[in-house]
């Protein structure tokens, strides 16, 4: 924050609450949230203090937006900008596709990054994204062109949605995972499509789906 002005106790309390609210909820509070939490007499008093914090460089505010508050760092840059995740390739929601790379290299150079909700990396750590091709997971509300958020993992529980690597075929697919004896059933979430059955030693879990980012348009 590019300012030398000393904060009053009330304004410091407002800033602390805004930061705590964003940390917990992933979005800024409303003026009424601030009024209630900081025990301020009216929303107009909150508005007055927010205008002063904006003037002094502690935050940016859009009064016409209910949650239009953005905290700033010492250089005046957004403090709580959404984290971004690398999209490292495409994944088949249908017939398996050839290999993708979750470690970067060629695949990561051909794709983009995308914003993710702040709570996802906080809860799951390192994540990567895969663009979905096909509609085998449509009943799980994952459509062609969506991006699935994947947590790297070598293990999965029954029924979890996974990135499965078929070793002999050298192909990857997005399906629900079921271990049935010495066989794995990779189940689509589409009643018109059949599951894929493989020997368990031919299937390698590469990650678990922990979120989805919808395509636009």
Catalytic positions, written as ranges:
136, 175
Separation of alpha carbons 129 and 141, rounded Å:
16
Residue 43, φ and ψ in degrees, nearest 5: -70, -25
Beta pairing, strands 183-187 & 196-199: antiparallel
Our measurement of the distance from residue 73's CA atom to the centroid of its chain's CA atoms, rounded to an integer in Å, reads 23
């Amino acid at each position: 924050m590019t300012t030398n002005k000393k904060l009053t106790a009330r304004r410091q309390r407002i800033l602390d609450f805004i930061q705590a609210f964003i940390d917990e909820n992933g979005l800024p509070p409303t003026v009424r949230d601030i009024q209630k939490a900081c025990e301020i007499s009216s929303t107009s008093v909150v508005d007055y203090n927010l205008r002063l914090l904006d003037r002094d460089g502690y935050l940016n505010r859009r009064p016409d937006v209910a949650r239009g508050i953005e905290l700033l760092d010492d250089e005046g840059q957004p403090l709580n900008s959404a984290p971004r995740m690398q999209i490292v390739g495409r994944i088949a929601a249908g017939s398996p596709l050839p290999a993708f790379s979750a470690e970067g290299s060629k695949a990561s150079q051909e794709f983009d990054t995308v914003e993710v909700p702040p709570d996802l990396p906080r809860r799951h750590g390192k994540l990567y994204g895969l663009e979905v091709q096909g509609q085998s997971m449509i009943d799980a509300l994952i459509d062609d062109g969506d991006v699935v958020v994947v947590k790297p993992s070598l293990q999965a529980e029954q029924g979890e949605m996974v990135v499965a690597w078929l070793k002999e075929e050298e192909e990857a697919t997005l399906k629900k995972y079921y271990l049935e004896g010495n066989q794995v059933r990779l189940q689509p979430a589409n009643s018109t499509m059949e599951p894929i059955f493989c020997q368990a030693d031919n299937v390698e879990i590469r990650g678990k789906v922990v979120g989805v980012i919808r395509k636009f348009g």
